[in-house]
């Protein structure tokens, strides 16, 4: 640090800085929907009267809130780990999330999630496959053969994983494996569409 940097600020500059707004809000017309959600969850400043923020009298609500947050996070994490991680003696990953109507609702939600994910991937794959169909005649027959056999293997894997998820929609591992196969499909299609074409 130079001596110049250690010097106090000139009075004129200091007053100019003090006069600046503490926050600059984004324009109201930008992303109104996002804006309204941010406003709904706006954090209220703990001190607005210029006093130091860490007064002892104000510490306990913050500490209590912190304890609550940590406790809630821990419970959530434990519950999540119990659901996702295997046990050392080889028990199944996929413990039920609940029983009765609650479990049925969770299963239904998960099935819907799986369907939504698959629909999104399928739509993207369809787009890429349309491009591939248009280019297919100008790819080498050897490459077309490789692509067809690979896509068959991938589609078979997707069908099997989806069928397993129908039976066990809570399985995060199945979901991850399905996601991996779908990503492979999209990547293969993208790579196929980037291959050089024959001139004839």
Distance CA 149, CA 192 (A): 13
Counting Cα atoms < 13 Å in the Cβ hemisphere of 72 gives 6
Task: Candidates 115, 124, 128, 164: give the one binding another protein (CB under 8 A).
Answer: 164
Six-digit token string for 96: 């039920």
CA distance to 49, 124, 158, 164, per residue, from 152 (Å):
68, 17, 10, 18
157 binds another protein (CB under 8 A): yes
Q: In terms of CB distance, is 35 or 172 closer to another protein?
A: 172
109 binds another protein (CB under 8 A): no
The nearest distance, CB 200 to another protein, in angstroms, is: 6
| Residue 144: burial class (beta carbons within 10 Å; 0-12, 13-18, 19+) | middle
95 binds another protein (CB under 8 A): no
The nearest distance, CB 105 to another protein, in angstroms, is: 20
Handedness of CA 60, 61, 66, 68 (dihedral sign): positive
Q: In terms of CB distance, is 37 or 138 closer to another protein?
A: 138
Binding footprint of another protein on the chain (CB under 8 A):
85-88, 90-94, 139-140, 142-143, 145-147, 149-150, 153-154, 157, 160-161, 164, 167-168, 171, 173-174, 176-177, 180-181, 183-184, 187-188, 191-192, 195-196, 198-200
């Amino acid at each position: 640090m130079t001596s110049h940097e250690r010097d106090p600020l000139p009075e004129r500059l200091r007053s100019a800085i003090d006069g600046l707004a503490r926050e600059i809000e984004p324009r109201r017309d930008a992303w109104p929907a996002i804006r309204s959600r941010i406003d709904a969850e706006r954090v209220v400043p703990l001190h607005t009267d210029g006093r130091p923020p860490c007064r002892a009298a104000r510490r306990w609500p913050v500490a209590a809130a912190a304890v609550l947050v940590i406790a809630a996070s821990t419970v959530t994490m434990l519950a999540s780990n119990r659901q996702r991680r295997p046990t050392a003696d080889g028990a199944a990953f996929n413990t039920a999330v609940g029983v009765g109507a609650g479990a049925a609702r969770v299963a239904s939600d998960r099935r819907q999630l799986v369907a939504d994910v698959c629909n999104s991937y399928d739509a993207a794959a369809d787009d890429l496959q349309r491009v591939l169909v248009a280019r297919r005649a100008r790819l080498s027959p050897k490459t077309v053969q490789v692509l067809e056999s690979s896509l068959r293997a991938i589609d078979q894997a997707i069908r099997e994983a989806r069928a397993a998820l129908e039976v066990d929609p809570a399985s995060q591992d199945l979901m991850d494996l399905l996601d991996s196969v779908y990503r492979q499909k999209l990547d293969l299609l993208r790579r196929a569409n980037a291959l050089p074409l024959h001139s004839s």
